[in-house]
Structure 1
Amino acid sequence: MTTGVRPQTTAIEDRCLFLEGLMLKQKIATVIAICWSLFQLFAVFYPSVFHITAHRAIHLCFALVLCALLFGDLLRSQTRLAKWMNGAFILAFIAGSLALTYHMLSNAERFEVRPYGMTTMDSVISVLGLILILEGTRRIIGWSLVLVAAFFILYGMYGDLIPGALGHGGGTFLDVSERLFYSADGVYGQILGISATIIFIYLLFGGFLLTLGGGEFFTDLSSALVGSTRGGAAKVAVLASAFFGSISGSAISNVVTTGTVTIPMMKRLGFKPEFAGAVEAVASSGGQILPPVMGATAFVLANMMGVSYMEVLVAAAVPAILYFVSLLFMVDFEAAKTGIKGIDKKDLPDVRDVMRRGWHFFVPFIVLIYLLLFIRWEAQKAGIYAIGSMVVMELIRRPSLETIKKLVEGLAVGARTAISVAIPCATIGIVVGIVLSTGLGLSFTTIVRSFAGDSTLSLLLIMMVGSLVIGMGVPTTAAYVMLAVLMVPVLIDGGVVPMAAHMFALYFGILSVVTPPVALAAYAAASISKGNPTVTGFIAFRLALAGFIIPFMFVYQPGLLMIGSTQEILLAVCSGFAGVICLGGVMQNYFFGRIHWGVRGILAIACIVLVTPEYDLVGFVLFVAVAILQIVKHRSARATEKLMAQG
């Protein structure tokens, strides 16, 4: 009897120990996350206190320590041995992170005079740093970005073995690692600097908005506005995900946040699980191209281009609207084709009640836009004051201990979100450092131009495929930065307007999350909808097709980016709207009524010719003609059915 009871009791004790350890790690991580947010806020108001390298080193240290605590388990087993091994790994990871940070803080000024190679400790720390950053990146987002960085490290080492334009002098592993850590263009360079300043503040903005109830408010507002229309639940998903995705900065986190509400709602109305998941994935991905925040990428793009935030905001507005208009039409056509009605009005919130409860969530956006566009403050400072306005409004409306707890929770949520950006940005610093130190950027431009020849279309297609591959499994900001370094110079060298080139890279860096085979946002949505992940991915690709066409449109017609004369802008905008509506008809086989293959072919032709300014008038005429014929035909059919029913 005794021998039969002991193993079970031990297993229960081990389970309890595991849960206690897990809770302790979570509590410690929460405290550290709050400290990180407070440090970042302090650094905004007192930037002169920290050397620029010291600021970035501390920022990365917080991210690495939190990564060790939250993503640190080596073994999934809950035995005592596994628990001790996991604990040892966490301590080793944290100790290494602190050692790296101490070395950078102690020698920050020395590295400006003599960047690297002075001491043995420089070499040891640079190798340790590479291991920590690559392992942290692997634990957060998987192998994709790690393999890319490893490839570039090998390229930096063995460039002397490569013939032709891609060859360079090469170097030892220590040479490469020291160059990456102690030069201004490596790990602690501009990319990590953007994470430590602009991106963190806007992720903190999103953290406060989420914990204070902003996500629920925008979902309720979307339900009240469009929930009763045909296929209303899917339209609610589109609008709610657009609102929240603009702030969250992550398509996947947006899916798992808003999707838990909108996907079941769509399924209850009659949408298939795969379609419901695909709508949520595509809308969540598109939130990152929607002003005013664009998942903080707008500020990164402005920084990379050396232009004002206002220019990025104006350029991004119309293409983002086109993306969501296309998605809304596809959803509407699907609902009309399958006979799905809207949500009963009695089950929907009232617009006035929703606005009465949550109108104050618009205040931080108004403050943000005013400070950025009219006062022209720096993005970082404007973000802080926008957060401050949110906090003040919440304390005025609900002055309670519970509100204080939510504000503290917002500090933790924002910092936890920043882990998935800070460490990948450090890894991107590896890629950027190799590209700049080896001259790969110029060589890459020459080679791609030789493949594409004088054809702009060939160049764009090569860039599209390359962007989708590079962006697979990589967070949006990190994907865009890599593309801005590697791809954008090729486009600009090919004659593409700089703003169009950067926006082209941004779009295709985002679309990789809904493009099979690595459609991560679609797969996350499928886990909620319980639909087939592969089918969900391909439906998401179809629904997001406007996102693949719009970048070509604004390259050929920069008027979509508000660049050019008034006539060029108006023509481009009209062509854009006609083009995405035609695309919706082609993809859904429905255009103000069911269509046969001939009409579908005409719409496809119209969609294609509307991309280029030379033939867009022809495309617009085809669009108007088919729309009129379909509306007349549909109304006549309904009138006939009504007469037959009465007779």
Structure 2
Amino acid sequence: MSNLQGKSGEQQIAPLSADEIASEEVVQELLEKYDKESQIRKFKPKSKLALLVSAIAISFSLFHLWVAGFGAIEAIKLRSIHLTFVMVLIFLLYPIRKKGMKGKPGVLDWAMIALSLVAGLYMVFANEQLAMRGGLPITRDYIMGALGIFVVFEAGRRCLGKELPILGIIFLLYAYFGQYIPGSFGHSGFSLKRIIAHMYVGSEGIFGVALGVSATFIFLFILFGAFLGETGMAKLINDSSMALAGTSPGGPAKVAVVASGIMGTISGSAVANVATTGAFTIPLMKSIGYRPHFAAAVEAVASTGGQFMPPIMGAAAFIMAEFLNIPYKDIMIAALIPAFLYYLAVFSMVHLEAIKTGLVGVSRDKLPIMKLVIKERGHLILPLIAIVYLLVQGVTPTFAAFYGILVAIGASFLRKSTRMSWRGFLMALEMGAKGSISVAIATAVVGFIVGVSSLTSLGITLGDNMLAFAHGNLFATLVLTMITAIILGMGMPTTAVYIVGATIAAPALLKLGVAPLAAHLFVFYFGNISNVTPPVALAAFTGAGIAGASPSKVGWAAARLAAAGFLIPYIWIYSPALIAQGSMGQILGALLTATVGVIALACAVQGYMLKTTNIIQRGLLFVAAFGLIKPGLITDTVGISILIIVFLWQRFQRNSVKTESVNV
């Protein structure tokens, strides 16, 4: 993350010394510990291997830019080339075991690269022949398919860890040994050839919809984020956030909420966002008096929310649009109110914590001046404006991201201080390609799960059994779905969590009459919230490493700060107005009452309103919050009545204390 040293005479914040800000070594160590994607080989700069990786990554990005802007290529060929680039980069960058991170690729690595090229590109050249055979595979197809399945699993294991590949293998075994499984989950079983053909030759396995979305929408948006990073967008976000909120009580924590939320829409990874943004914000929060575990929790929760913050949400949102066959802008609009409520709740809790503990902000003379920040870097917001405009106008995400990249490059030239150099251009191409690796291979591995579900009707069977277990009760089914998503999120990327959840859990919600968009957003939200849900909360653990706090303590504090994120998804299932479904009056009414509701929730969680609450007041605030967040005349009336009672009660207590003090 960029520091806050500026140009053109800007006044800059300097509350921390260089020693106080988390060093790059600490950040990298935390990423390698909690983020599997960061456990890569370290090549010497300008060495032959480093140059080779750069050349492949830059070629990868240029290929996708060409396809998006000028080229037309068949879907299966695009997905094959996309996956081949990804697997070659994985076997170059990711060692067989973690201890090989400092070594060079060995004979086995180069063999895997060769196998990736053969298996990955086979469908590019054999697609026409396969079409002429009416899709009927021959022996050569089966051999290439088995080879392709093997290299995808190994690439997934190296990049993502063992959890997702093991889950994929279990699903393949289920497809093969189905005749030996008793009860409703049993089936006639499928031959090895049939499984290989379905997973490799068809478009419902490895080369399915998920990989297709990675090869079109997701890659370009990750590349867009890389270009924004090279233009200096991070500095604009940091400086403007500090100028806006730095002087208020607990200002640095509010800066963390705003800056991390915005950066999260660009980075797409909660753990990476905590490690980079948190290297500055967490020490800054600690420097004004926030407790270390609370500072780390604030950063973790704010960074996690970035993945469901429009306009650019996590990669799974683009896959959701494809699964539901709706425009991405519909998902973006539906996610807007929940994201606002989530961040409002976190912001309110941070403010109440500061008031309760007597914390102050940073003095104005140490902060950037907003006028100068906008003058120096305000033009860098143009790419985001362009993206939103294009998406709202109905342009496909592919073209929106492509033109967004062009606008980002052009906008950088509006001022000399932000002008993108040729080296910066190449660096953006390289980092964009590297940033897409984990998402791409996750979508390929998840293809086995989706493929087996379509081959065996497992999704329908799981949905039926989930309904039976919950006795057809919607609330119980929602709880089971939430638990499933959170458990999956403990060991898998959020993109994979969403795809698996959408395959095995969402069908049960649909059978109970839940709208498809509401059901899929429910799975999507809890897949993300798993990053701050104990016992395994990777974003919280990363923040704990920077803050020097107990990971467990940070995890529970983060879960408390993310309380709105656990409640709101249930509300939109019963009242879809919160996801912009319904008339404008219903939507605005739900927004208004829910806004008051999440503030009440923040007061309840923090145990503070006008003063510290007693146990009865705190309980009443929870009731008021739930009543107001859930749209409805009765619930709103009850909620606002209780809130007024608690407010007047607290006001009376505070005035009584003041009167006693005066009398004394």
TM-score, L = length of structure 2: 0.89
Among 101, 113, 118, the alignment partner of 2:120 is: 101
Q: Within the alignment, does 1:63 sit opposite 2:83 as a pair?
A: no
State the match for 2:327 in structure 1.
308
Aligned 1:420-439 pairs, distance under 5 A: 420-439=438-457
Report which of the two has the higher share of helix. Answer: 1
Residue segments in structure 1 that go unaligned for 5+ positions in a row: 1-16
Q: Indicate the percent of aligned positions where both proteins have the same amino acid.
A: 36
Among 344, 347, 352, the alignment partner of 2:371 is: 352
Give how far 1:262 is off.
Answer: 0.7
Amino acid at match of 1:617: T
| Matched residue SS, 1:396 | coil
Q: Within the alignment, does 1:37 sit opposite 2:61 as a pair?
A: yes
Distance 2:564 2:520 in 1: 18
Give how far 1:61 is off.
Answer: 0.9
Contact 2:91 2:109 in 1 (8 A): yes
| Matched residue SS, 1:518 | coil
State the match for 1:492 in structure 2.
510
Q: 1:73 to 1:456 in 2, by over 3 A?
A: closer
State the match for 2:382 in structure 1.
363
Range that drifts further, 303-312 or 540-549: 303-312
Amino acid at match of 1:350: I
State the match for 2:544 in structure 1.
526
Contact 1:116 1:178 in 2 (8 A): no
Give how far 1:246 is off.
Answer: 1.0
Distance 1:538 1:75 in 2: 29
For residues 428-470 of structure 1, give each alpha carbon's deviation from its aligned partner in whole angstroms, at most 9, with x where no partner exists. 1111101111111111121111122242211111111111122
Among 636, 639, 642, the alignment partner of 1:616 is: 636
Distance 2:367 2:391 in 1: 35
Q: 1:18 to 1:371 in 2, by over 3 A?
A: closer
Q: 1:20 to 1:221 in 2, by over 3 A?
A: closer
Distance 1:415 1:169 in 2: 42
Aligned 1:531-550 pairs, distance under 5 A: 531-550=549-568
Q: Within the alignment, does 1:27 sit opposite 2:47 as a pair?
A: no
State the match for 1:157 in structure 2.
176
Amino acid at match of 1:412: E
Range that drifts further, 257-266 or 561-570: 561-570
Q: Within the alignment, does 1:459 sit opposite 2:469 as a pair?
A: no
Contact 2:250 2:360 in 1 (8 A): yes
Q: Within the alignment, does 1:72 sit opposite 2:73 as a pair?
A: no
Aligned 1:364-513 pairs, distance under 5 A: 364-374=383-393, 376-398=394-416, 403-513=421-531
Range that drifts further, 125-134 or 507-516: 125-134
Amino acid at match of 2:650: Q
Amino acid at match of 2:406: G
Distance 1:489 1:307 in 2: 17
Distance 1:141 1:77 in 2: 16
Distance 1:630 1:104 in 2: 70
Contact 2:623 2:639 in 1 (8 A): yes
Range that drifts further, 39-48 or 317-326: 39-48
Give how far 1:113 is off.
Answer: 5.3
State the match for 1:625 in structure 2.
645
Residue segments in structure 2 that go unaligned for 5+ positions in a row: 1-40
| Matched residue SS, 1:185 | coil
Q: Within the alignment, does 1:231 sit opposite 2:250 as a pair?
A: yes
Contact 1:278 1:522 in 2 (8 A): yes
TM-score, L = length of structure 1: 0.91
| Matched residue SS, 1:165 | helix
Contact 1:606 1:622 in 2 (8 A): yes
Give how far 1:519 is off.
Answer: 0.8
For residues 206-262 of structure 1, give each alpha carbon's deviation from its aligned partner in whole angstroms, at most 9, with x where no partner exists. 101112211121011111110111111111110001111012111111112211111
Aligned pairs, number: 622
Distance 1:478 1:360 in 2: 35
Q: 1:429 to 1:570 in 2, by over 3 A?
A: same
Q: Within the alignment, does 1:562 sit opposite 2:562 as a pair?
A: no
- Pairwise CA RMSD: 2.4
Contact 2:598 2:629 in 1 (8 A): no
For residues 68-120 of structure 1, give each alpha carbon's deviation from its aligned partner in whole angstroms, at most 9, with x where no partner exists. 12212547269xxx957x42132112111111123221212334455877443
| Matched residue SS, 1:186 | coil
Aligned 1:595-614 pairs, distance under 5 A: 595-610=613-628, 612=630, 613=632
Among 186, 205, 219, the alignment partner of 2:205 is: 186
Distance 2:371 2:417 in 1: 23
